[in-house]
């Protein structure tokens, strides 16, 4: 099922508008306890900017040293952003979780 | 392959949705993380181009980088103390911003963009600029949270920031609108990237203290915007939608935070605080209290409330605070924590701290839930909070914090404020709570004060 897809400007705007509405809808009414995890989690997601660097790295011949070098830095930073973000979010959420189990027992 | 992307996109949306629900948040985080990994693999496979001369080398390189990034990220996440959470988020956000700038620069410099592709060029310019601002902005925010000394803000900084902003707008407009290209694209790109880096630092410099939660949310939103733009540029739907979701989260949190402080986003970002009421400076009638007196007062209280603030994070008093709670509960008292939406340096900061100290979920209340019933508390302990309990916000129309929702600590029967010294809060406003008849001040480091109180309680 190879089909080349092309986001034309108007498609892009459609996607943009829909997902913007969706985004607001999804995270409306989040309790204060979850503000920090939500923020660090979404910060992790925004690390997907590294896809751009990935695209560059996967299509650059090894002799273009400068491009490779800088794309590598970008991908590394992006990976730290993503991994760090998700791990730290998990750590925080696990903390909330453990506590709840404790109180259930008590 | 496209199927993978669809699944990843849905995963991101569901993941974020779950993360807004306390019961499913852990699952949500896992789902979002998995989606990112899935999309990442998809992108790597899709963009692998042997025809362009890429080979095994590229694959190995990418695998190593991703592996190294994951390990470093994990180390950072595990090592950081819970009190260092705002700093870490700021730093990670900065990393992402820098990555965005580099990617945009390479894209613009290594693959020439012809002059009839202005929309593409424009996307690239914007993502470089927003990435740059997010990068240096986050770095400055990080430094501020770490408590590093930064140059004092002078009027010239603010002016310079404004000039730079308009220069960028002008350059962008020139590139997009000029019928014949005046300046080559690469020059515009480099110039705007450099300006954005300087601008990011200058614009963050005057913002600080209690406005930090707003700033961090804003920077995250900005980063989301970058992902969105890059998604449009690379025609990558996952990136685009991920960016939108992050942007929406960031903006929503930003607005919520500024609302909780009764300030407009604009005034926060401009770093402006009204300080035009020197007239209200007057001697305050302060009644100090000792730790042992506090202990005996608490021992006779049935209903106790604790209002934590940034000061609690600074003196790392959350664990000791929890011990005191246990001691009081053993003596038959009910202990509640009341949290103001902007207490601390990032949204939900206090919740994270208290969770670390194993404070039960049920004993943490939010401001709106209890404000009308503050009178039922026999004793209220304010630990390291200031502006959020200042009655001036309700009574003094001249005050800069007038109108900001506060926790009505003064309505309780007795208030004890744990304080290091007589310094004013972030707003610089005198706290009218201190000379209320039912308020007394316990001076000293919060943690050692609490420690003494616990010891005294055990003796009673």
Residues A18-47 pLDDT 10s: 878 887 887 777 777 788 888 889 999 999
Task: Band the pLDDT of B276: cuts 50, 70, 90.
Answer: very low
Q: Output phi, psi for B152, to 5 deg.
A: -65, 140
Burial B283-313 (b: 16+ CB within 10 A, else e): eeeeeebbbeebbebbbebebbbbbbbbbbb
Instruction: Please list every residue in chain B whose beta carbon sits closer than 8 Å to the beta carbon of residue A69.
Output: none
Q: Is the pLDDT of residue B92 over 90?
A: yes
Q: What is the mean pLDDT of residues B331-335?
A: 90
pLDDT one-digit tens code per residue, B55-74: 888 889 999 999 999 999 99
**Are B239 and A40 an interchain contact pair (Cβ–Cβ within 8 Å)?**
no
Question: How much is the mean pLDDT over chain A?
Answer: 80
Task: Band the pLDDT of A106: cuts 50, 70, 90.
Answer: very low
Amino acid A7: pLDDT: 59
pLDDT one-digit tens code per residue, B306-324: 999 888 888 888 889 999 9
Amino acid B240: pLDDT: 87
In B294-313, the residues whose Cβ lies within 8 Å of chain A are: none
When mean pLDDT is compared across A58-62, B21-25, B81-85, B396-400, the lowest value belongs to B396-400
**Are B49 and A48 an interchain contact pair (Cβ–Cβ within 8 Å)?**
no
Q: Is the pLDDT of residue B281 over 60?
A: no
Q: What is the mean pLDDT of residues B86-110?
A: 92
Q: Is the pLDDT of residue A2 over 50?
A: no
Q: What is the mean pLDDT of residues B327-356?
A: 86
In A38-97, the residues whose Cβ lies within 8 Å of chain B are: 38-64, 67-68, 70-97
Q: What is the mean pLDDT of residues B338-343?
A: 85
Question: How much is the mean pLDDT over chain B?
Answer: 85
Amino acid B35: pLDDT: 93
Residue ranges, CATH 3.40.50.1220, chain B: 284-459
Instruction: Please list every residue in chain B whose beta carbon sits closer than 8 Å to the beta carbon of residue A93.
Output: 25-26, 29
Task: Band the pLDDT of B160: cuts 50, 70, 90.
Answer: confident
Instruction: Please list every residue in chain A whose beta carbon sits closer than 8 Å to the beta carbon of residue B352.
Output: 36, 92, 95
When mean pLDDT is compared across B164-168, B415-419, B434-438, the lowest value belongs to B434-438
Instruction: Please list every residue in chain B whose beta carbon sits closer than 8 Å to the beta carbon of residue A35.
Output: 253, 346-348, 351
Q: What is the mean pLDDT of residues B5-14?
A: 90
Amino acid B153: pLDDT: 73
From A98, which residue of chain B is nearest by alpha-carbon distance? B358
Q: Does B322 touch chain A (CB under 8 A)?
A: no
Amino acid A97: pLDDT: 66
Of the candidates B29, B66, B217, the beta carbon closest to that of A93 is on: B29
In B114-173, the residues whose Cβ lies within 8 Å of chain A are: 119, 131
Q: Does A14 touch chain B (CB under 8 A)?
A: no
pLDDT one-digit tens code per residue, B112-151: 777 777 888 888 999 999 999 999 999 999 988 887 777 7
Domain B284-459 homologous superfamily, CATH: TPP-binding domain (3.40.50.1220)
**Are B72 and A80 an interchain contact pair (Cβ–Cβ within 8 Å)?**
yes
Q: Is the pLDDT of residue B273 over 70?
A: no
Task: Band the pLDDT of B96: cuts 50, 70, 90.
Answer: very high
Task: Band the pLDDT of A104: cuts 50, 70, 90.
Answer: very low
**Are B26 and A34 an interchain contact pair (Cβ–Cβ within 8 Å)?**
no
Amino acid B131: pLDDT: 94
**Are A34 and B244 an interchain contact pair (Cβ–Cβ within 8 Å)?**
no
Under 8 Å between Cβ of B438 and B415 = yes
Instruction: Please list every residue in chain A whose beta carbon sits closer than 8 Å to the beta carbon of residue B55.
Output: 61-62
When mean pLDDT is compared across B98-107, B205-214, B308-317, the lowest value belongs to B205-214
| A-to-B residue pairs, Cβ atoms closer than 8 angstroms | 378
B378 is catalytic: no
**Are B248 and A9 an interchain contact pair (Cβ–Cβ within 8 Å)?**
no
Of the candidates B36, B230, B249, the beta carbon closest to that of A82 is on: B36
Task: Band the pLDDT of B278: cuts 50, 70, 90.
Answer: very low
In B351-370, the residues whose Cβ lies within 8 Å of chain A are: 351-352, 355-356, 358-362, 364, 366
Of the candidates A28, A36, A96, the beta carbon closest to that of B349 is on: A36
Amino acid B2: pLDDT: 79
Instruction: Please list every residue in chain A whose beta carbon sits closer than 8 Å to the beta carbon of residue B110.
Output: 56, 60, 64, 67
Q: Which of B211, B387, B435, B455 is catalytic?
A: B387
DSSP letter, residue A7: -
Share of chain B above pLDDT 90, in %: 28
- Mutation pick from B23, B51, B56, B100 vs chain A, by most beta carbons of A within 10 Å, is B100
């Amino acid at each position: 099922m190879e089909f080349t897809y092309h986001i034309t400007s108007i498609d892009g705007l459609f996607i943009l508008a829909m997902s913007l509405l969706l985004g607001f809808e999804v995270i409306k009414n989040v309790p204060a306890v979850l503000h920090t995890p939500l923020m660090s989690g979404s910060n992790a997601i925004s690390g997907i900017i590294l896809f751009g660097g990935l695209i560059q790295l996967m299509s650059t011949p090894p002799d273009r040293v400068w491009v490779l070098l800088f794309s590598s830095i970008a991908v590394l930073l992006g990976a730290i952003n993503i991994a760090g973000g998700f791990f730290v979010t998990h750590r925080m959420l696990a903390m909330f979780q453990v506590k709840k189990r404790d109180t259930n027992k008590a | 392959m496209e199927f993978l992307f669809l699944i990843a996109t849905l995963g991101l949306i569901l993941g974020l949705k779950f993360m807004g629900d306390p019961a499913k948040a852990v699952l949500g985080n896992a789902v979002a993380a998995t989606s990112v990994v899935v999309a990442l693999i998809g992108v790597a496979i899709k963009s692998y181009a042997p025809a362009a001369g890429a080979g095994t080398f590229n694959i190995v390189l990418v695998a190593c980088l991703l592996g190294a990034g994951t390990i470093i990220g994990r180390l950072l996440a595990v090592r950081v103390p819970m009190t260092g959470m705002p700093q870490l988020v700021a730093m990670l956000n900065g990393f992402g911003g820098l990555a965005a700038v580099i990617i945009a620069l390479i894209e613009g410099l290594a693959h020439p963009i012809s002059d009839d592709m202005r929309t593409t060029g424009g996307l690239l310019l914007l993502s470089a600029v927003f990435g740059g601002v997010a990068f240096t902005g986050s770095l400055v925010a990080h430094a501020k949270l770490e408590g590093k000394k930064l140059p004092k803000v002078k009027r010239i900084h603010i002016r310079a920031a404004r000039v730079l902003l308009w220069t960028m707008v002008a350059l962008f407009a020139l590139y997009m609108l000029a019928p014949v290209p005046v300046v080559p694209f690469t020059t515009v790109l480099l110039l705007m990237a450099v300006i954005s880096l300087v601008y990011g630092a200058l614009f963050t410099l005057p913002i600080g203290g209690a406005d930090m939660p707003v700033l961090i949310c804003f920077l995250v939103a900005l980063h989301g915007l970058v992902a969105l733009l890059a998604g449009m540029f690379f025609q990558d739907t996952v990136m685009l939608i991920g960016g939108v979701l992050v942007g929406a989260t960031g903006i929503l949190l930003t607005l919520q935070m500024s609302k909780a402080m009764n300030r407009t986003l604009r005034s926060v970002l401009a770093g402006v605080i009204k300080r035009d009421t020197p007239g209200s400076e007057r001697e305050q009638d302060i009644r100090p209290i000792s730790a042992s007196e506090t202990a005996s007062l608490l021992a006779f209280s049935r209903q106790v409330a604790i209002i934590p603030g940034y000061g609690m994070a600074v003196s790392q008093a959350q664990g000791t605070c929890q011990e005191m709670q246990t001691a009081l509960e053993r003596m038959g008292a009910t202990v509640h924590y009341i949290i103001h939406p902007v207490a601390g340096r990032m949204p939900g900061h206090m919740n994270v701290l208290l969770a670390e100290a194993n404070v039960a979920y049920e004993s943490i209340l939010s401001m709106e839930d209890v404000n009308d019933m503050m009178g039922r508390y026999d004793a209220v302990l304010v630990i390291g909070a200031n502006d959020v309990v200042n009655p001036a916000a309700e009574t003094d129309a001249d005050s800069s914090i007038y109108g900001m929702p506060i926790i009505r600590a003064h309505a309780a029967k007795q208030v004890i404020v744990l304080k290091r010294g007589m310094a004013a809060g972030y707003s610089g406003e005198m706290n009218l709570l201190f000379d209320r008849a039912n308020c007394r001040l316990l001076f000293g480091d919060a943690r050692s004060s609490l420690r003494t109180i616990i010891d005294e309680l055990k003796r009673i």
